[in-house]
Amino acid sequence: MILVLENKITIKQKNKIKNILSDEGCITREIMDAGRNVIGTIGKTKISLDEFKQMDGIFDAIQIKSSYKLASREFKSEDTKVTIGNVVVGGDRIVIVAGPCAVESHDQAMTIAKEVKKYGAVLFRGGAYKPRSSPYSFQGLEEEGLKILADVREKTGLKVVTEMTSVSQADLMKKYVDVVQIGARNMQNFELLKCVGRMGLPVVLKRGLASTILEWLMSAEYIMAEGNNNVILCERGIRTFEPYTRNTLDLSAIPVLKKLTHLPIMIDPSHATGIREKVSPMARAAVAAGADALMIEVHNNPEQALSDGPQSLYPEQFGQLTRDIYVIAPVVGKHLDFDYLKKSEMINNMEAKDSKTAAFIGEYGAYSHKASLGYFGEEITPVPMKTFKDIFSAVQTGTCQYGVIPLENSLSGSIHENYDLLQEYDLKIIGEITIRVKHALIAHENISKNEIKKILAPPPAFSQCKNYLDQYPGIELIPVKATSSAVKHVKDSGDKHSAAIGSTMAAKIFNMNILEESIEDNPRNYTRFAIIAKEIKGHKKANKTSIIFSTGNKPGALFEVMKVFSEYQINLVKLESRPMLGKPWEYMFYLDFEADIEHPDLAPVVERLQKKAENLRILGRY
């Protein structure tokens, strides 16, 4: 049962409820979920649901119908995010766990760890206790293997995941590793589940070879009932009649689980397929189906591997795979961040006085809010602002450390106001993120489309949905600053005949109804956001540079600047001109190019640009 508490509940009332539950012998868990204070209770009580509803301080009492309680969405509607050092499993960023099946030697583990880190893995895996089908096969290096894992973590900064096969290994696990894995063969080893529940380390719980989703969730419940909520469910293939692959990867488990549970989902296509060339296609499919994390076996010399060589990717293949995932993830609203660990380090190195916040336009649920979560994860708090200028001045004055500003959209073009503000303020671009913009038509409950008389949205959103809106010439279009502000406005006004164009995230946050999804003219609707800050901190290498400059008003002046890039074979990716502030008919040029302007090889380029261009300023390298 879950008890939804009233916002104004007193401590005395809450304690009284907790005492009643404990006298009844119930296990209780208090959480905040979607802005509600909730006490989850497990166990039978003589007190009825209606009696609880009558108690002071209780807003509602709801029965949890599923047999798993703590793991269910009924208990907790928001996704659980499992934190492992600086890595969060279950957020907007896809987490890649990679490494060999087994730790074979210090050299082997370290070599592979460096390779997988280079290609985007943020956690390292490797078995030290191997549950093998044959007692004569390699069984793992045991404690020696754990020591190697601890050293890999020390040298590479990658947190480590390893399998625990027996309750007797608990202390060693706590001493050497960051995440314990319960292998497929042990999914129903209830003593082991209870033990990892008490240990407190995050757990990767693999699905048993022949287990149903319900049995799997019940195993998660064993861990959670002991007080450990940090459980990641890992699908690794189940046994079917199909012998071609080692197991059958049940990808449908992803949408099924997303409905049933709030726990994050990892997919292991290596053990699922058992065949190297099948691993990458299934990993790509898993991300497209909504997986939060991937676990991939990688070996530098798979022919000689002591276990699971035939399914281990070569490091370069793993690199190819992560590049594909980078492209696929935004389609489903997620990101693969090749700078994940570097960014976390930068954020951790921030001084106490620094505000760990990022200003964005609109209300919560804005695409800019999503861009902030995609770029920084949960470590930086997004702060809503009313105007773009407010964002720039919040960053300039230090009220917010960062700003997230849209620069251009693939359908509606540039957001000129932000180019002008970049000219006006002396701030730096420290990064960029592109997100897919999938618009929904959002209104109040129980309203149909033909009752809508007004639609609110910012002008670029109207232009991205032009074909859709053209079907309804009678509807009045009302421009506002951001999509999320439109949703909030419709909500607050209570006007049943108004709708907003916005994200499904905004609809969820404001508890509004989606009348229609994907109303943008073209599904390839992407917005590129720049991350702005006062200075560039801790960024050593960059792939891209943004500059602004003006030119003299004489024939070929712009051509002379462009020629420099052509001669040095530097690829330009964006050129935009904007009127110079206060100088009619004179222009500033914004230029993005694919090179790091601070690279020593580019010193002559800078020198020549300084001669050919006027008012040259480097906006950022990232």
Q: Which residues contact ligand PEP (rule: CB under 6 A)?
A: 101, 127, 131, 163, 183-185, 206, 236, 271
Residue 183's binding partner among Mn ion, ligand PEP, none (Cβ under 5 to 8 angstroms by kind) is ligand PEP
> 555-562 long-range contacts, Cβ below 8 Å, gap at least 24?
557/612, 558/589, 560/612, 561/589, 561/609, 561/612, 561/613
Name the β-bridge partners of 516.
441
Dist. CA 353–CA 255, nearest whole Å: 43
268 near Mn ion (CB under 5 A)? no
Residue 408's binding partner among Mn ion, ligand PEP, none (Cβ under 5 to 8 angstroms by kind) is none
The DSSP secondary-structure symbol of 311 reads G
Is-contact 196 228, C-beta < 8 A? yes
Residue 236's binding partner among ligand PEP, Mn ion, none (Cβ under 5 to 8 angstroms by kind) is ligand PEP
- Cα separation values, 58 from 21, 73, 324, 616, Å: 13, 20, 49, 63
Binding mask 66-105 for Mn ion (x = CB under 5 A): -----------------------------------x----
Dist. CA 111–CA 570, nearest whole Å: 33
Q: Which is nearer to ligand PEP, 206 or 428 (CB)?
A: 206
Match 């419940």 to its residue by tokens: 221
Q: Which is nearer to Mn ion, 101 or 329 (CB)?
A: 101
Tell me the helices (H) and strands (E) count for the chain, helix number first: 21, 29
Stretch that binds Mn ion, among 63-71, 306-314, 429-437, 568-576 (CB under 5 A): 306-314
Residue 452's binding partner among ligand PEP, Mn ion, none (Cβ under 5 to 8 angstroms by kind) is none
How many positions of this chain bind Mn ion (CB under 5 A)? 2
Which 321-350 positions form the footprint of Mn ion (CB under 5 A)?
A: none
Stretch that binds Mn ion, among 24-32, 142-150, 281-289, 307-315 (CB under 5 A): 307-315
E strands of 129-264, at which residues? 159-163, 179-182, 203-206, 231-235
> Least distance to ligand PEP from the beta carbon of 294, Å?
12
- Cα separation values, 225 from 71, 193, 263, 364, Å: 9, 10, 14, 33
> Least distance to Mn ion from the beta carbon of 317, Å?
16
Q: Which is nearer to ligand PEP, 135 or 584 (CB)?
A: 135
Closest residue to Mn ion: CB criterion: 101
Q: Which is nearer to ligand PEP, 163 or 221 (CB)?
A: 163
Name the β-bridge partners of 99.
297
Closest residue to ligand PEP: CB criterion: 183
Instruction: For residue 527, indicate whether it is catalytic.
Output: yes
Nearest to 234 by CA among 296, 302, 278: 296
308 near Mn ion (CB under 5 A)? yes
The H or E element spanning position 508 is helix 504-509
Residue 197's binding partner among Mn ion, ligand PEP, none (Cβ under 5 to 8 angstroms by kind) is none
Question: CA angle at residue 495 from 492 to 501, to 5 degrees?
Answer: 75
Match 């859709």 to its residue by tokens: 468
Dist. CA 506–CA 504, nearest whole Å: 5
Which 99-128 positions form the footprint of Mn ion (CB under 5 A)?
A: 101
Residue 153's binding partner among Mn ion, ligand PEP, none (Cβ under 5 to 8 angstroms by kind) is none
Buried-exposed string 260-292: b where 16+ CB fall within 10 A, e elsewhere:
bbbbbbbbbbbbbbbebebbbebbbbbbebbbb
> Least distance to ligand PEP from the beta carbon of 181, Å?
6
E strands of 375-474, at which residues? 381-385, 402-409, 413-414, 428-436, 440-443, 454-457
Tallying the residues shown for the chain, one arrives at: 622
Q: Which is nearer to ligand PEP, 236 or 439 (CB)?
A: 236
Catalytic residue, chosen from 156, 273, 527, 545, is 527
Residue 206's binding partner among Mn ion, ligand PEP, none (Cβ under 5 to 8 angstroms by kind) is ligand PEP
Q: Which is nearer to ligand PEP, 310 or 579 (CB)?
A: 310
Q: Which is nearer to ligand PEP, 84 or 184 (CB)?
A: 184
- Cα separation values, 314 from 44, 88, 339, Å: 53, 26, 22
> Least distance to ligand PEP from the beta carbon of 352, Å?
40
> Least distance to Mn ion from the beta carbon of 311, Å?
7
Residue 377's binding partner among ligand PEP, Mn ion, none (Cβ under 5 to 8 angstroms by kind) is none
Residue 302's binding partner among ligand PEP, Mn ion, none (Cβ under 5 to 8 angstroms by kind) is none
Nearest to 497 by CA among 457, 448, 451: 451
Is-contact 181 163, C-beta < 8 A? yes
Catalytic residue, chosen from 529, 549, 589, 593, is 529
Stretch that binds Mn ion, among 250-258, 301-309, 337-345, 545-553 (CB under 5 A): 301-309
> Least distance to Mn ion from the beta carbon of 131, Å?
10
Q: Which is nearer to ligand PEP, 16 or 185 (CB)?
A: 185
- Cα separation values, 55 from 4, 14, 112, 179, Å: 11, 10, 59, 41
Dist. CA 117–CA 112, nearest whole Å: 8
Question: How far, in whole angstroms, is CA 557 from its chain's centroid?
Answer: 44
> Least distance to ligand PEP from the beta carbon of 147, Å?
19
Instruction: For residue 322, indicate whether it is catalytic.
Output: no
> Least distance to ligand PEP from the beta carbon of 140, Å?
10
> Least distance to ligand PEP from the beta carbon of 298, Å?
12
Is-contact 436 333, C-beta < 8 A? yes
Residue 292's binding partner among Mn ion, ligand PEP, none (Cβ under 5 to 8 angstroms by kind) is none
Dist. CA 472–CA 434, nearest whole Å: 30
> Least distance to ligand PEP from the beta carbon of 131, Å?
6
Q: Which is nearer to Mn ion, 137 or 615 (CB)?
A: 137
Q: Which is nearer to ligand PEP, 206 or 439 (CB)?
A: 206
User: Residues interacting with Mn ion, by CB under 5 A?
Assistant: 101, 308
The catalytic site residues sit at 527, 529
